[in-house]
Every structure is written in C-alpha cells, then in structure tokens.
Amino acid sequence: MMALQKALSLLLLVLLTLLGLGLVQPSYGQNRMYQRFLQQHVDPGVTGGDDNYCNLMMQRRRMTRFHCKQFNTFIHEDIWNIRSICSTTNIQCKNGKMNCHEGVVSVTDCRDIGSSRAPNCRYRARASTRRVVIACEGNPAVPVHFDR
C-alpha cells in the first residue's frame, strides 16, 4: 500500500511539473486550431522558398484541393520559437480581439498568380525575414491563427 501511495505521489509531481513547464496539451478545441495552424503555416526545415516550393507546399498541405487559396505564409522557425511569440505583449488583431502577438521570423509568402485552377494552383514566392502577427489562445498559450 505504501508503494502505491509513493507511485501516485510521484505521478502527481510529474504531472504538476509538466503543467508548470507548459508542456501539457491545450484543450481539444484549441488543440484542433493549433494543429491546423501548424499544418498551414509552419515549415521549420527550410530557410526560404521559391515558386516551386510554394506550388509544392500549398498542394502538400491541402490548400489547393477545392480552390486555390489566394495567400499563405509559411514560417521557417522552430515551433518553440513560434510559441514564444505568444508570450509577448498582446496587440489588437484584425478582427478587433486583443489576443494577437507579434514577432520577427523567417517566412515564405505564397501568392496565387490568379490564372491557375485547383488542384494545380500556381504561386509566386517571396522569402523574407519580417514581422508577423499571430493569434494565441489557451493556457499555456499556443498559436491558433496567422493574422498578418
């Protein structure tokens, strides 16, 4: 019985430590939005892309299945660097909410050239290091929307 109490105490301590370090997953709704943010906007293995990069990634990430998404930004930073933006000062989002945060990151902006049709969409790439604004939610706060 004493061994079981020690094991439960240790388990509780580990859980509280993970919670304190911010390693516990966000709630289901936030987790779904966080996963969508990762799928649409995060590609840490690249430093910047060209037109072929955009054409391939937009298709791979399923943003050209039914229509050509007009504009998308891929962030080329480690997810922990992106998540750290959520701890900066709150600023106003385009929708008026105050849950946005800004940071400077390496990105590739992909803009639809306008004359292609889904699923074979064609994009013009622009790689740069620039200021981005992301919306964050939860405790711990995680990115859930690319604002600008």
Is 145 an active-site residue?
yes
List the helix and strand counts (H, then E) for the chain: 4, 4
At residue 74, φ and ψ (nearest 5 deg) are -105, 130
Nearest to 141 by CA among 98, 101, 86: 86
Catalytic residue among 67, 76, 101, 145: 145
Is 41 an active-site residue?
yes
**Helix (H) or strand (E) segment spanning residue 17:** helix 2-21
Nearest to 53 by CA among 135, 124, 106: 124
Residue corresponding to tokens 């400077």: 104
Catalytic residue among 41, 67, 76, 101: 41
- Based on its alpha-carbon atoms, the radius of gyration of the chain, rounded to whole angstroms, reads 19
Query: Is 129 within 8 Å of 106 (Cβ atoms)?
Result: yes
Residue 86: how many CB atoms within 10 A of its CB? Answer: 21
Give the active site residues.
41, 145
